[in-house]
Structure 1
Amino acid sequence: MATTITEPVRAAEPRPEDERITPPKVPNPWLAKFDRYLYGLIGFAVFLVLWWWVVDSGYVSDMYLSTPQDTFRAFIDGLDDGTLRSQLWPSAQRALIGFAIALVAGITVGILVGSFQIFQKLAEPVLLFFRNLSLLALLPVFVLFFGIGEESKVAIVVWACFWPILLNTVGAVSGVERLLLNAARTLGAGRLYIFGRVILPAAIPAIFPGIRLAAANAFTALVAAELVGGSAGIGIYINTAALRYQTPQMYAGIVALGLIGILVNGVLTVAERRLTAWQRGLTSR
């Protein structure tokens, strides 16, 4: 008969003092809260120093690239004497009108296409073709249809903003969990209720990246549109300064355009947080 030999249980050896597990360090709550802004300021300061050094050292002539000081001075002077300030509102107005039209049209068409699979199959080759067309190649077409007035500029902005919103909306609506739709139908919900209370809230978080991309495209397309012709606008201001070799004024206009883009992105970020607060409440712990 086989006997089973069991090893005696050894007592746990005492852990040396230097091998004891030390608790993880608790991060500074102030640094944890403002970490993003702190690093952003450092990165921006490094960028300004490099910008100044490239021009001051002579690697790039100040005829082509002005220093940050000269650019900032031209920006303040342009706002003060009105030469730059008067060009901002016409551009902002065109961009806002074009963006608003594209927002309504893109979301409406995107919901329609994304809600019906047959529409997705029919529209897929058309969307694939038009989304890859260069905006600059279409400038003559817009001028031919709408002339060189305000209509063509707004139409160009609408075109640039429409496609990101449309494509994101189609993907967001078609990507809604079928389990949610089936559960709502099982509970007796109608189509309008399902659309307003299930599809749209579930799709909004995926639609917003397209909206923010469209807002960026609005001002990019606007500069190209204003180069076609017109009497006022930030794109015209930048082009006129470049033709006159007014380098600080040219970069001041570019800085103004970038600041407007940051402001618009901030507004959309706040709107996105408000509209998707319910999702953060479900996913946060």
Structure 2
Amino acid sequence: MAPTITEPQRAQKQEPAAPPITRPQRRKALKYDSLIYGTVGLLGFLLVWWLVIDRGLISSLYLATPQETLKAFVDGIADGSIPADAWPSIQRAVIGFGIALVVGIVLGILVGSVPVFGKLAEPVLLFFRNLSLLALLPVFVAFLGIGEESKVAIVVWACFWPIFINAVGAVGGVERILINSARTLGAGRLYIFSQVVLPAALPSFFPGIRLAAANAFTALVAAELVGGAQGLGIYINNASYRFQTPQIYAGILTLGLLGILVNALMSGAERYLTRWQRGLTSR
């Protein structure tokens, strides 16, 4: 007599196999899609740039062609003129950004953690954060001169506000249930801050940090135009005085490439420091 198959056994045999997990392939496909779209967008931008000059819509006296810009950039790298002006700018930007990062995060955590400080500082901070950097340039120069101190101070000012504001919002936005749960378990203030508040707020720090990193070179060029011996702002300014249009755009290209590099570094730091969050959100 043949053995009979029970209902649970039949259901087990007919149950389809679980589909394979394809998340890594999907992420890889999205990465390639971004690369393709970005390449197409860049080529389209270069084509429009070339066409507006080739068709006479804009004079080459005011806008160099992509070929002329690239040649001026390569020549500037080869003869050392661009690196000689880029290196002082990089140093000023790094120093100013570093100071703003430390001060902005420390003050942001303090104001975000202690409501009294936030209430006391709010009117003053609202006033200063809305002041135009260009309007403050004469003030920095008057107090600090046209040397390195004023240039670094301008970078600090431009970078401080995005970092500080994001830090205040990040710390103040931590869910109270996390803090109260830690207190219920007997955790002290230092432990709650270092193991609960800071990890929960850390991902929200980075939008402000990345914006501040971009502001560093923007503010620095404005500061260097005021005066000095070396810097990308001075390189661009000198080229404009000599009507060297390709060199002007070679300097602008250098700033753009530095911005891309800084953004990549900030993105890498964000992925590394918040890698634990990806493990939670991917489930």
Q: Could you say whether these structures have the same fold, taking a TM-score greater than 0.5 normalized by the shorter chain as the test? A: yes
User: Which of 126, 143, 146 is 2:144 aligned to?
Assistant: 146
Q: Which amino acid aligns with 1:257?
A: L
Q: Which amino acid aligns with 1:104?
A: V
Taking the aligned partners of 2:81 and 2:269, their CA distance within structure 1 comes to 32
Alignment of 1:1-285 (within 5 A): 31-285=29-283
How much has 1:235 moved relative to structure 2?
0.4
Identity of aligned residues (%): 69
Query: What secondary structure does 1:148 align onto?
Result: coil
Moved more, 129-138 or 117-126: 117-126
Query: What secondary structure does 2:59 align onto?
Result: coil
Query: What secondary structure does 1:188 align onto?
Result: coil
How much has 1:83 moved relative to structure 2?
1.2
Taking the aligned partners of 2:178 and 2:75, their CA distance within structure 1 comes to 57
Q: Which residue of 1 aligns with 2:14?
A: none
Taking the aligned partners of 1:234 and 1:169, their CA distance within structure 2 comes to 31
Q: What do the CA deviations read for 1:50-102 (whole angstroms, capped 9, x no partner)?
A: 00000111100000000000000000000000111111100000000000000
Query: What secondary structure does 1:202 align onto?
Result: helix
Taking the aligned partners of 1:249 and 1:33, their CA distance within structure 2 comes to 34
Taking the aligned partners of 1:46 and 1:65, their CA distance within structure 2 comes to 17
How much has 1:121 moved relative to structure 2?
1.2
Taking the aligned partners of 2:111 and 2:201, their CA distance within structure 1 comes to 14
Taking the aligned partners of 1:125 and 1:99, their CA distance within structure 2 comes to 25
Q: Which amino acid aligns with 1:51?
A: W
Query: What secondary structure does 2:81 align onto?
Result: coil
Taking the aligned partners of 1:252 and 1:282, their CA distance within structure 2 comes to 44
How much has 1:31 moved relative to structure 2?
4.3
TM-score with structure 2 setting the length: 0.90
Q: Which residue of 2 aligns with 1:4?
A: none
Taking the aligned partners of 1:230 and 1:176, their CA distance within structure 2 comes to 45
Instruction: List, as ranges, runs of 4+ consecutive aligned residues in structure 1 with deviation greater than 6 Å.
Output: none
- How many residue pairs get matched? 259
Taking the aligned partners of 2:121 and 2:53, their CA distance within structure 1 comes to 51
Call closer, same or farther: CA 1:78–1:41 in 2, change over 3 Å: same
Q: Which residue of 2 aligns with 1:3?
A: none
Taking the aligned partners of 2:71 and 2:123, their CA distance within structure 1 comes to 50
Q: Which amino acid aligns with 1:218?
A: A
Structure 1, gaps ≥5 residues long: 1-25
Q: Which has the higher helix share?
A: 2
Taking the aligned partners of 2:207 and 2:71, their CA distance within structure 1 comes to 35
Taking the aligned partners of 1:37 and 1:80, their CA distance within structure 2 comes to 29
Q: Which has the larger radius of gyration?
A: 1
RMSD: 1.2
Query: What secondary structure does 1:230 align onto?
Result: coil
TM-score with structure 1 setting the length: 0.89
Taking the aligned partners of 1:175 and 1:210, their CA distance within structure 2 comes to 15
